[in-house]
A and B are shown apart, each in its own frame.
Chain A
Amino acid sequence: MDGLTHRPTQNPDHSVPPLETGLNDIDISYDSGSEHDDNLDEDTSNLEVFLSQEKHFFILSTAGKPIYSLHGDDNMIMSYMGVLLTIISFFQGQSHDTDNSDQLRSFTAGNSLFVASYEDPLILVAISKRGESEQQLRNQIDVLYTQILSTLTKSQISRVFKGRTNFDLRRLLGGTEKFLTALTREICKGSPPILLSALECAKLPRTIREKITTILLSHKSPSLLYGLVVSDSRLVSVIRPRKHSLHPPDLLLLFNMIFHTTAFRDGEEHWVPICLPKFNSTGFLYAHIFQFSKNSVLVLISADKDAFFELRTVKDNILKSLRRDNLIKPIELAVNNGFSFRTIDIPVPHIRHFLYKSKLDVQFIMPNIEPHFFPTTSSRKALMGYYHKLHAMVHAKNGGKLKMVYFTKGSATFFGCDSPTFELYFATGPDTTKAILTLSVRAILAWVSKNKERLFIMGGGVF
C-alpha cells in the first residue's frame, strides 16, 4: 500500500492535479462566459433555466440540424447549436482535407467543460459544470451515440445522409427520444454502470444462478443467439455461443430501453429490431422481450427476424421450467425494490458505500446507498460526484497517474484505486488514517473474493 497518497482537495498536491485545475490544461482561451450571456434574447426565463443547467448534451448533424438536446425548446436549441457548429467549424476550417484533421475536442468556458465528438455525419457535444473529466464526458456522449446506432445502425445513418446532408434524423428516430432521455437522466444521476462501463449482476446464491442458466441452456433453439434473464437492470443469467461474448455497453442500452421506460413493461410479448453496436454496428438483431414478473424480463435475441414464434416457444418452455423449479421468487427477491446488499453485511467498519469493478468480468457491485449516510438526493448525487472525481484521478491520462488516491471532504473520506484486475472506490468516515484505509481495502477485497460467485456471473452459460 505504498502508493497510497493523501490528497485533501482543499490543498492539492502538485503531482496530481485535481480535476478543476486539470481542466484548465486544455483551455483554449475561448472567450469564457459568452455562452452564458444574453446573446440569445428570445425567452429570458426559459433561457435562464436553460443556461443554469449543470449538464447539457447536444446531438446535431454536420449540416447543423438538431437531433437531440437534453434541455431547451427547439428555438433555443437552434441558435445554440448554431453557435456550437460555428466554433467547431472554425477549427475544422483550418484543415479539412482529411478525416484526421485538427478537430476541436474540448475547451473550457468559465467552469463549463465542452467536449465534442465527431461520428460523421453526427456531432455530439457534452457540456458540464460538474467537474467530470474530458474522458468521462466523452464516454457519456459515446453512450448516447451507441443508443442512436442501436436504433438505426451505422449503415442506415450513412445511407440516409448520403447525398442529403440536410437530412433531419429526428424523423427516423421518432419515438426513441425517450431512450436518449432515459440515458441522459442516468448520466446526470452519475450512474455507476456508465461511469465504470460495467454491468451489475443480481446477487444470487450460486446454485440458484446455475439452475437458471441450466434451464436457459436446455431450452435453447437453433436461432437463439443470446438468452438473458434481467431483473431491474441487473443481469441474473446469460447464455451465449462460445464464439460471441456480450459487450456491457450493448447490454447497458438494452437494459436502459427495457427498465427506464414503460414501453416493454406491459406483460406483452415484444419483437424488437435492435442493433447492438459493439456486437455489430451495421446490422440488426431481433429481441424477444417479455416481462415475466414484477421486475424481471426474459430477453431472447436472434439474428433471424422471422424467429419470433420459435423464440416464443423457447420462452414458454423456459418460463414453465422456472416456475416448476420455483426460481421466479428468488429472482424477484434478489432485486426487490432495488435491493442489492448492505454495507453492514460487509465486515468493514465505518464503510458507507463502495463501488468495486472486476475488470475481467466487466462487472461491478455496489451496496445499497444507505439513507442513514446519504439522506437526500443531493447527498447521493454528491457521492456519485466524488466517485467521478476519484475515477478521473486514477485514470488521468497525461502523467501523474495514481494507483491510489484519497481525500477528505466534509464529513467523509473518499478513496479510489485502480489495479490491473479491479477498481475500487469507497466512502468512509472522516479523517480515516492511512492504516485504516489499507485495512478497509483488504477487508473489502477479501469479502468480494469470498462472495465472488454470488456477486458476479463468471462467463455465463456457453453453448
Chain B
Amino acid sequence: MDSQSTAPRPTTSVKLVLLGEAAVGKSSLVLRFVSNEFQENKEPTIGAAFLTQKCSLANKTIKFEIWDTAGQERFASLAPMYYRNAQSALVVYDITKPNSFIKARHWVNELKAQASPGIIIALVGNKLDLVEEDTNNTSSSNDADHEDDETEHSDNVEDTTNAITEDASDSDSDVETQSARCVALQEGEKLAAEEGLLFFETSAKTGLNVRDVFLAIANKIPDEASKRRGNGLLAGSGHNGDSDANGLPNHDGRISLDASNANGTGACAC
C-alpha cells in the first residue's frame, strides 16, 4: 500500500471506539472514513461492528481498529467491553438532538471514569448538513429526520437505568424542532474545553470534517518510536508535542467550511 514511499513508515495500531446515542450517525461517520460513502436510511447497528482502516501520516502509518457500537439502550451494558482497551474514542452526538448531547456528556464521564487514563477522546457533533440545508432549503431533510425521531422517542424515556434527569425537559423541544440546530457550537466547544477533548462538527453525509477527526486522533497518538525511546525513561512525553503541532487543525476544533482542509497534512491511505 505504501510501496511508493522511500522508507517503510512505522505502523501503529490504534484501537478506537465510537459511542453515542442511537441514530446520531456513528456508523455513517465510519463508513465515510473507511469507504468514503454515505447511505441514506442506514439500518441501525446491532451489537457492534469491527473495522480497520489505515491512515498514512507524514512520518508514520496509523492502523485504526474501530469498534462501531450500537447506540440503543439495551447494548449500553456491553460498552465497557469495547472501550476497555481503547486508546481513542469518538463520542458522537447529533447537533439537532439535544438529548444526544446529554448522552454524549454521559459517555465522556463514563470514559473518564472507566476507560484507560490516557484515552484520547474526540467529541463530534454530527449532521452539520441538516443545519446548513435548513437555512437554504428546508424541505429536503425530512426523511432522515423522521427515522431519527422514532429512535429518539424510544430513547427519550429510556433513562431510568441511566438516571439522566435532565432528559424530560428536553424531550418536547426535540420533537418539534425538526432539523434546526439545537446544540450550539459553543456548547460543544465548552464541553470539549472543560474535559480536554478534541472537538469537531461534522457531516457524514457531505464528508465535511470527517477525516479531520480521525487525523487529529492519529496525530495525537504517540508513535512507536517515541514509545520505545520513552522506555526506561520517565515517559518520553516530549515527543507527543511535535505530532500535535503537525497534524491538528489549527483552528482549535472550530469548524472550517473550507473543504480543502480535509486534504491537509496526511491523506488516508485508501
Q: How far is the CB of B256 from chain A (nearest CB, A)?
A: 30
Q: How far is the CB of A153 from chain B (nearest CB, A)?
A: 10
Contact A272 B81 (CB under 8 A): no
Is A189 on the interface with B (CB-CB < 8 A)? no
Q: How far is the CB of B168 from chain A (nearest CB, A)?
A: 14
Q: How far is the CB of A319 from chain B (nearest CB, A)?
A: 15
Interface string of A290-321 (1 = CB under 8 A from B): 00000000000000011010001000000000
Contact B49 A268 (CB under 8 A): yes
A-side interface residues, number (CB < 8 Å) = 29
**A424–B262 CA distance with the chains assembled, in angstroms:** 63
Do A306 and B43 contact each other (CB < 8 Å), given the known contacts A268-B49, A269-B51?
no
**A171–B158 CA distance with the chains assembled, in angstroms:** 6
Contact B44 A271 (CB under 8 A): no
Contact of B47 among A262, A271, A312 (CB under 8 A): A271
Interface of B is mostly: mixed
Chain B residue with Cβ nearest A172: B74
Is B72 on the interface with A (CB-CB < 8 A)? yes
Contact A175 B70 (CB under 8 A): yes
Interface of A is mostly: mixed
**A262–B49 CA distance with the chains assembled, in angstroms:** 13
Interface string of B32-61 (1 = CB under 8 A from A): 000000000001111111110000000000
Q: Could you say which of B149-157, B179-187, B214-222, B239-247 contacts chain A? A: B149-157
Contact A273 B43 (CB under 8 A): no
**Count, A-B residue pairs, CB within 8 A:** 70
Interface string of B55-87 (1 = CB under 8 A from A): 000000000000010101111001001000000
Is B111 on the interface with A (CB-CB < 8 A)? no
Is B197 on the interface with A (CB-CB < 8 A)? no
Interface string of B4-39 (1 = CB under 8 A from A): 000000000000000000100000000000000000
Residues in B neighbouring A170, C-beta threshold 8 A: 154
Contact of A171 among B46, B51, B78, B157 (CB under 8 A): B157
30 CB < 8 A contacts A-B: A168-B157, A170-B154, A171-B155, A172-B73, A173-B74, A174-B44, A174-B72, A175-B43, A175-B44, A176-B46, A178-B43, A257-B46, A261-B43, A263-B44, A263-B45, A263-B46, A268-B50, A268-B68, A269-B49, A269-B50, A270-B46, A270-B48, A270-B50, A271-B47, A271-B49, A272-B47, A273-B75, A273-B78, A305-B78, A312-B50
